[in-house]
Amino acid sequence: MVPITTLHYLVVAAALFMLGVIGVLTRRNVVIVLMSIELILNAVNLNLVAFSRLWGLHGQIFAIFVITDAAAEAAVGLGILIAFFRNKETVNIDEVDLLKW
């Protein structure tokens, strides 16, 4: 069996990133778009922690900061969603077009 190297983790992280990007670009439900953004952030975290195995603990510190920022961003994003939902009773991101000409 091939020993598990950093490359394996990078491939998993890249696949997660791609799936997150597909989710952000193709889904219409706002909450699922926000969850796809969390997938992207997780992929980045996995990448950072995989490299920190080789090059020191700085990757893990950065990963902790990324998790903190993800929490803040999720809170603010969901607040925006609630504020918008109160105006227009929809979670469809295609209908967020009030400023379109």
CB 48 within 8 A of CB 63: yes
| 77-10-42 Cα angle (round to 5) | 15
The one-letter amino acid code at 12 reads: V
Q: Please tell me whether residue 96 binds another protein under the rule CB under 8 A.
A: no
Tell me which residues in 52-91 interact with another protein (CB under 8 A).
52-54, 57-58, 60-61, 63-65, 67-76, 78-83, 85-86, 89-91
Total residues interacting with another protein, rule: CB under 8 A: 72
- Residue closer to another protein, measured from CB, 54 or 99: 54
Q: How far is the CB of 65 from another protein (least distance, A)?
A: 6
Within residues 15-54, the interface with another protein by CB under 8 A covers: 15-23, 25-29, 31-32, 34-36, 38-39, 42, 45-46, 49-50, 52-54
- Report the residue number, 8 or 101, with the smaller CB distance to another protein: 8
For residue 30, give the nearest of 85, 101, 87 by alpha carbon: 85
Residues 6+ positions from 19 with CB-CB distance below 8 Å: 36, 39
Distance, C-alpha 8 to centroid of its chain: 20
